[in-house]
Chain A
Amino acid sequence: MSVIILLLGASLLVAICFLAAFIWSVRSGQFEDHFSPAHRILFEHKPTEHASGSTPPATPCNNNSTATPTNCKQ
């Protein structure tokens, strides 16, 4: 039956890991802004390109590109 004690210890350890993960995620502010991270991941350009010296050629803005514009004015 000592195997149960072993299993018990293991399962509690796993549960404690999850508790720690939860506390870490709250602490790092993951529950504070539901909007930005969800949209940031969809942007094509990474915001860390500034190192590149030459600026890419400017392309004229047009409204019919890949992303479907949603009207944000209510």
Chain B
Amino acid sequence: MATFTAVPGIEVECEHCGEACADTTIVLGDKIFCCQGCKLVYELLNENDLCEYYNLNNKPGLAQRIPVRKDKFAFLEDNKIQQQLLQYRDDEHTHITFYIPHIHCSSCLWLLENLHKLDKGVESVTVTFTRKEARIVYRQEETTLRRIAEVLTSIGYEPYISLQDMQQKKPRVQRDLIYRLGVAGFCFGNIMLLSFPEYFGNYGYSDAKMNVMFRILNVSLSLPVFFYSAQVFFKSAWSGLKTGFLNIDAPIVLAIVVTFVRSLADVISGTGSGYFDSMTGIVFFMLIGRVLQDKTYQGLSFDRDYTSYFPLAITIIKDGKEVPTALPDIKVNDTLLIHDNELIPADGILVKGSALVDYSFVTGESVPVSKSIGEIVYAGGKQLEGNIEILTIKEVAQSYLTSLWNRDELKQKATRQESFIHLVARNFTWILLAIAALSALYWWKFDHTRIWPAATSILIVACPCTLLLAASFTNGHILRILSRHKLYLRNAGAIERMAGITDIVFDKTGTLTGNKDIPVTWHGPTLSRAQMMSIASVAAQSTHPLSKLISAFYHNIPRVPVSGFKTTTGMGVSGYIQEEAVLLGNAAFTGTRTVPNHNDGSIVYVAINEQPLGYFLIGNQYREGISTLLQSLRTKGYSLSLLSGDNDREADYLKSLMGEDATLRFTQQPQDKLNYILDLQTKGKRVLMIGDGLNDAGALKQSDVGISLTEDSNNFTPASDGILEAGQLTRLPKFIRICIANKRIIVISFVISLIYNVIGLSFAVQGILSPLTAAILMPANSISMILLSYGLSEWADRR
């Protein structure tokens, strides 16, 4: 029994892209390439004196094995389409920003910014690395948009132009909060400085005239903080109150306003300097926390919908001519020409050609479906074999896939459970108000003059700012720690929801299974080279995934011509090599009688000239460590489910992986997945869904936490609460643990800040809280809180 693995050890690496070369036939000088495409790029760069590309980084290119269709960018010549993509155009220059997913290292940066060497019409290129964007300025007299796109493609930097580009521009980066932070920092620092004479006024020199001067300056410096920087909190509190919800910002606004009014009263009446330093300080720290927590991941988008998957334009056949047309302009009864490997953008009837449609994108089913003339093909499928023509029966926006996306229940944001922080803050506020009322009552009885100072300083010193600080800093740190582990959560709310999940739902294709290193083994007598050639050649004719794997398994075996190739749906493929009949398929198809007992993969039997030879065992593609992952989640008490768009041929194996009590569902349509999640939620479960692809999109959006998996962060992911790099999936238990720790850290920090509050309150109830005490307590409290939450988060990560 001979055994091989599909991926042999490292061979020769391609000079351009660094991928393993199948053979060493494609050479240029002493350089070896994996394909003609890579060699072409190398030659092109060589001719144009752009070799620096290869010096900056080792083999930075993208494999060019799949050539890009020649007229792919023809639609860019259409003026109407251009109008919607261009950012700016004058008599001479045009500005456009392309999204180029392949941008990944400094070589890319260098090459793209030297694009003018390849296209003389390009004026300048500016790459924004974090967003993977290139802003190109070109002279429209000398070059065209299409030409630039083609030049970029020829060097391996194909711009990704999707339907989404056509609709409104992406929102700009939020800088507003940063400005507010800057202003608050500036005012806080200066007020602190100007308050020093006041702090030490009792210990020596004090000039009444100077003091007035300092106080006036303090008041004027606090105005921008109160009216500009703190506005964020005002707005949030107001929008909470409007919906009858007392969020954490409400007591904070109360404290800010009380502090400001009290301080203003002090200064005007000349009785003191007020607490402007404390007020501006707390606003400053809270803004830092908010900036930290709201940090967004540039280059990652959590809100993709179908428009970012769909191409921008498609070819329509009108009066025998091919016209590139923007997707929204497609009408019912248009004839669309779908090229090889293009996405079908609208539901239609197949009128020409034979379709082999890969619906894995929509349904998760990995085996392509063949359709013949007259049958309906649905939007979202990818045509695999040759060109086809379809007659549209529905517009893009009304297609099955898009209507799935536009469902009402997905549009309205599900009412999320409110954060425990708001709950704590509310209780805290009531206690605080009670203390203030009590001490006011006390002083009303004994010393009327102290009512006002005591009550206000209680509200000043013990505002729940520290709770907000603890929460926002801890959330920010945890988000950062998770992103270090390649889990990018959308926002802080996702952390808290993730900590509370009870059920975990997995998708199969692309989630539990990966797309790398599928072991293929041959079971049977050792094959002769001629037999291998026959098998490889027949397998290479088919687009079935299993055939493709066999073909890849024999990648270094030369191919021979195949005649009479035929696919029998659900059975296998057959073909003749000269007089030899080669059959690949299931046991019945090949006439194999002895069926081996394997449940950890798919089996392809081989028969040559009606003589069964043996079979290929094609291992499952489950990611490494999946069984340990599932095991540990199970022992932690999460109930697991699997929703697969694929068929149930691996059901037994999956059952053994996930345990007897797990729910396994196969051939699930996107709608079924969504319903399953809804069903769990109505039972009071809180669901974490992990999936990839469009077919999970509804379920991801509906679940309490939806995490989409991606092979590398360049890829496109459906709308979700988080994006996880696929290799890190096995660390899921750790991620959940960190999220649970998040809540504990917030509580611990809050309790410690309460100690400061008690000290402050003990001064405040007596009505003797001096600005100096407040000025020491406030920053000490904030800073120790920040350090504590940072230290504890790091510790939670290490543990």
Q: Give chain A's interface residues, CB within 8 Å of chain B.
A: 1, 4-5, 8, 12, 15-16, 18-19, 22-23, 26-27, 29, 31-36, 39-40, 42-45, 47-50, 55-63, 65-67, 69-73
Contacts and interface: CB of A to CB of B under 8 A. Distances in A.
A22 B178 CA distance: 10
B274 interface: no
Nearest to A56: B49
Contacts of B113: 40, 43, 47
B42 A50 contact: no
B634 interface: no
Given A26-B178, A47-B114, A66-B55, A72 B104 contact: yes
B46 A61 contact: yes
Given A69-B54, A70-B58, 6 more contacts: A29-B173, A44-B52, A48-B124, A58-B48, A65-B55, A67-B56
Nearest to B116: A50
Interface centre among B55, B107, B217 (most CB of A within 10 A): B55
12 contacts: A8-B213, A12-B190, A19-B186, A22-B186, A39-B106, A61-B42, A61-B53, A63-B54, A71-B57, A71-B59, A72-B106, A72-B107
A42 B52 CA distance: 12
Given A45-B52, A72-B60, A50 B173 contact: no
Contact of A58 (B46, B109, B217): B46
A70 B18 CA distance: 13
A58 B43 CA distance: 11
Nearest to A43: B110
Contacts of A44: 52
The 10 closest A-B pairs by CB, nearest first: A61-B51, A72-B105, A35-B129, A50-B116, A69-B58, A39-B106, A72-B57, A19-B186, A36-B129, A71-B58
A50 B56 contact: no
B127 interface: yes
Interface of B: 18, 29, 31, 42, 45-49, 51-60, 104-107, 109-110, 113-114, 116-117, 120, 122-131, 173, 175, 178-179, 182-183, 186, 189-190, 194, 207, 209-210, 213, 217, 298
Q: Is the interface of B mostly helix, strand, loop or mixed?
A: helix
A69 B52 contact: no
B129 A27 contact: no
Given A62-B51, A67-B56, A73-B59, A32 B110 contact: no
A53 B57 CA distance: 29
Contact of A60 (B51, B117, B124): B51
B114 A72 contact: no
B18 A73 contact: yes
Contact of A19 (B49, B53, B114, B183): B183
Contact of A59 (B29, B51, B124, B189): B51
Contacts of B213: 5, 8
Contacts of B114: 45, 47
Nearest to A39: B106
Contacts of B56: 43, 67, 69
A36 B60 CA distance: 16
Given A36-B127, A65-B55, A69-B58, A60 B46 contact: yes
B130 A32 contact: yes
A27 to B, nearest CB: 7
Contacts of A22: 182, 186
Contacts of A67: 52, 55-56
Contacts of B47: 58
A63 B106 contact: no
Contacts of A4: 210
A73 B16 CA distance: 12
Nearest to A74: B712
A26 B46 contact: no
